[in-house]
Amino acid sequence: MKVDHDQLENLMPEENSGHRVDGSLSEEEIQQMIVLAGRLREQSGGELDDDAIIAVSEATGAPVDYIRLAMRSVPERMQKRSFLEQVKNSFLAFDPDTRRLVAGGVLGLGAGFAQFWSAALFRGDGGFFVILMMILLGAGIWNATVSRKLKTAIFAGALLSIATNLTYGLFSLLDGLLTPVGAMGPRPEGFIASVLLCSVLGGAGFALFQKYRKQLGFSDPAEDRHALLSQLLEIQTKLRQDEKYVTFISVDLVGSTKIKTENDDLAVEFTLNEYHKFIESVVAKHGGKIHSTAGDGVTCVFDEAPAAIAAGKAMQAGLFEFNAFRNKLRDPVSMRAAVHTGNVLAPGRESTAVNFAHVIDVAAHLQKIAEPGTLAVSAATAMHVGGLHTIGTERISVEDIEAAIWRPTMRLNVKDLSTLVPPGLPG
């Protein structure tokens, strides 16, 4: 799934204490960040907790909120999750402080509901609901206790009590309207007292928990983060070992649909097969490989940019010969081609194993806007042969990437070539 990088960059904060701050992240940095987080998520069973997200942030220099949004944009390579698991993942997407407050409110709603049923159905003798209410209140205090900040712990405790009392009061009011003898709602003084009590319990619990964390068997978040950073650095090292600087050529036959509808099927099949052989021979001659084919489009990859440019020129310049001796269609064929260079994550450093890369996308986009019979060479590729001016004077651009246009010096058509065919050879 492709991440909406524009959306991510627009949401990046101007300041983020403890992290490198740039106006935006490059395509390679975004890709590295997502791969790091994705691999760590797979190793942790499909979820990234707060320490893991912070570790990714520290390892890549990306803001924490940026990573949260990026991870929500990346599909998980796991089996389809149930509704409860999806709710859990949505809950975990909140920042830690918001999560504590949300959990306090939800637990308070449950406790208030249990208190109402205990009072309404059993007039205070409903043992099960009393126990359930105590369990939910205890969970709410624990939720406040394990907060990251004292302020959050106090507010989470207060919110627990507020939600409990409001839920109990609301249902008691409805019960009073519907039945002769309804449940008694909370008194104002009791409401205030319970809010203060839960706030104090949340703050006191937080202070005690921080003091006796290790004695209680809980690890130090700083130590956990350091361990995660070590793991991330190991993954990052492996990723860098797979990085490769390569050049891609995107080639496409012009008017392929018209070719197939206006010519004999056998002639089309023969010519297209010969066309692919022609491309493959040029690529092999210049030391490249066929990366992929899609219909009449071909993507080729080269380790060296000059070799890729030479191959692209040979394709366009040699097409007149192809039309003269190997084209069995009514009209000569033409094609568009574009070249772009950049870093990719190549598993095993095998260029043909790259499935998704921005380099390929740029080459394909340049190819689509190039004129038939031309070769578009991006600035990143042209710099290896002296710059754009060595390619040509015409310019096109896509995604703020400039490219120069190269055209064959001599353009001949099939009729001109008929005079050049030696005797005995088919025309």
pLDDT of residue 351: 60
- Per CATH, the number for 243-417 is 3.30.70.1230
What percent helix, strand, coil does the chain show, rounded to 5? 60, 10, 30
Structure confidence at residue 285 as a pLDDT band (50, 70, 90): very high
Structure confidence at residue 211 as a pLDDT band (50, 70, 90): confident
Angstrom distance (rounded) from CA 49 to CA 186: 38
Most confident of 54-63, 106-115, 217-226: 106-115
pLDDT of residue 175: 74
Q: Is the pLDDT of residue 404 over 90?
A: yes
Separation in Å, CA 230 to CA 38, 234, 303: 16, 6, 32
pLDDT of residue 426: 45
Angstrom distance (rounded) from CA 120 to CA 107: 20
Angstrom distance (rounded) from CA 237 to CA 227: 15
pLDDT of residue 270: 93
pLDDT of residue 239: 57
Are the C-beta atoms of 172 and 185 separated by less than 8 Å?
A: yes
Q: Is the pLDDT of residue 323 over 80?
A: yes
Of 137-151, 198-212, 234-248, least confident by mean pLDDT is 234-248
Q: Which amino acid is at 383?
A: M
Give CATH 3.30.70.1230 domain extents, the chain.
Answer: 243-417
Q: Which amino acid is at 210?
A: Q
**Interacting residues of 183 by C-beta distance below 8 A, sequence separation 6+:** 116, 119, 120, 168, 171, 172, 175, 176
pLDDT of residue 348: 54
Q: What is the pLDDT of residues 54-82, one digit of tens each?
A: 766 766 666 776 666 666 655 544 445 56
pLDDT of residue 358: 84
Q: What is the pLDDT of residues 177-209, one digit of tens each?
A: 766 555 566 788 888 999 999 999 999 999 998
The partner residues of 395 in beta bridges, in order of sequence, read 404
Q: Is the pLDDT of residue 32 over 80?
A: no
| Whether the predicted model's global pTM rises above the 0.85 cut | no
Rounded to an integer, the average pLDDT of 393-401 is 92
How would you class 56 by CB atoms within 10 Å of its CB: exposed for 0-12, middle for 13-18, buried for 19 or more? buried
Most confident of 61-65, 224-228, 268-272: 268-272
The chain-wide mean pLDDT, for the chain, equals: 77
- Sign of the CA dihedral with 209 first, then 211, 217, and 219 last: positive
